[in-house]
Amino acid sequence: MTASTLVPIIVGVIFLLLALRLLLSGGMLKAIVRALLGLSFLAASAMFFLGGYDLLTYKRLLVEQPVATLQFVKLAPQSYRVLLVQIDGEEHRLQLLGDQWQLDARTLRWHPSLASIGFKSQYRLDRISGRYADIIEQRHGEQTVHPLQVSPYGFDAWQVLRQVPWLQEWVSAKQGTATYQPMADGAVYEVTLAYGGLFARPVNSEAKRAVSGWR
């Protein structure tokens, strides 16, 4: 039994015990008040029990959504200028070295019991970097890594969620969601995010040609 059903059931048990205590208490005038309160607690108990049972029928909603587009211009061998436009219109103009680009994201996925009351899965594009096709170059070549977002005031809530053990029962904070493709002059890619992670799709002929030759 998961926490999403256990918590409502525990609350239901508490209301049930309170209801029994009130209904079984003695007294005349006070007994009526106790009875009304007891019936209210019984109704609340039933609501929580039924709510916990109903949560067992829910499945996570998986929606794939676009998060960014990337456009490349070749400046020199293994040197590219990239224009990254996020879905909200925020732009990043950067230079990458290497043969491939890699985009990393952070994701927050809340426990279903929290998701059922409005906590939505969230993501943040973390960084973009250049990669080399040759492993020797990858180890010893000049590396380019650009952060795309930093935490304001230096407080990183995502790190806290990863490091506090009991919070990990309620939210999954993951890094390593990444996608990479070859860089090419004029290539345009669309990046989407789904439950399984980031996915890159070549949009124009230059990108499709680069992917075809790379595979």
Instruction: Quickly list DSSP for 82-120.
Output: EEEEETTS-EEEEEEESSEEEEEEEEEEE-HHHHTTT--
Structure confidence by residue, pLDDT tens digits, 174-212: 665 688 899 999 999 999 888 778 889 999 999 999 998
Average pLDDT over residues 159-163: 72
Average pLDDT over residues 95-120: 82
Amino acid at the residue 139 = R
Neighbours of 174 (CB within 10 A): 14
| Farthest-apart Cα atoms in the chain, separation | 92
Structure confidence by residue, pLDDT tens digits, 118-136: 766 777 888 999 999 999 9
